[in-house]
Copies of this chain bind each other. A is one copy, B any other.
Amino acid sequence: MVRAPSPHRLAPRKQAHPEEQARFESFLRTRQLKYTGERRALLDAVFASKHHFDADSLHLALRQKGQEISRATVYRTLDLLVQCGLVRKQSLGDQHAHYEAVHGDEHHDHLICMNCNRIIEFYRPDLEAMQEAICEEFEFKPLHHSLQIFGLCKLCQAKGVDGLELATRVSQLHA
């Protein structure tokens, strides 16, 4: 099934994600947990995927790479990765959780197209600052936040998708 890898090419960082792996290992060690093959595979798969994913598609992706890992373990490991701060868990209007790998300290919010389901990520320091200001005003100590804007992306507007038609679905959103 798999083409034999060219032995001539330099192995481009064979160790999939060394930094994340190190962080996960140390996280596990401090809790006397074990770095098993399944956990390694999960970590790799998570950091291989560029954007949002859900538990099921991750499970499927692993299976397609020949990694047989049970759903239960997928959930359990995702949980560890979340606790460890390597993964973020979010609700994006669906009835199931979405996850995304955290690269560095980067944070972003989402524009979600209600027609094609495309998710556009953005980060605006001034928006973050304004949120900080609001929290100060309420003497509220923020630890985390989540902003999602639902609507129509440029392409879907061009396609002439009817905003009103979607208006009904807007209110149905579970977010």
Binds B, one of A1-9, A12-20, A57-65, A131-139: A131-139
Interface size class of A (residues with CB under 8 A): 35 or more
Q: At the interface, yes or no: A174 with Cβ under 8 Å from chain B?
A: yes
A10 interface residue (CB < 8 Å to B): no
Q: How many copies does the complex hold?
A: 2
Q: With A134-B124, A143-B114 in contact, is A83–B172 under 8 Å at CB?
A: yes
With A and B bound together, what is the CA distance between A113 and B140 in angstroms? 8
Taken together as a complex, chains A and B put the C-alpha atoms of A74 and B144 apart, in Å, by 32
Could you tell me which residues of chain A, from 86 to 142, have a CB within 8 Å of some CB in chain B?
A: 87-91, 93, 97, 111, 113-114, 120, 122, 124, 126-127, 130-131, 134-135, 138-142
> What are 18 sample pairs from A and B whose C-beta atoms fall under 8 A apart?
A79-B172, A82-B171, A89-B172, A91-B93, A120-B140, A122-B138, A126-B130, A127-B134, A134-B149, A135-B149, A139-B157, A140-B153, A140-B154, A141-B152, A143-B152, A143-B163, A143-B170, A146-B146
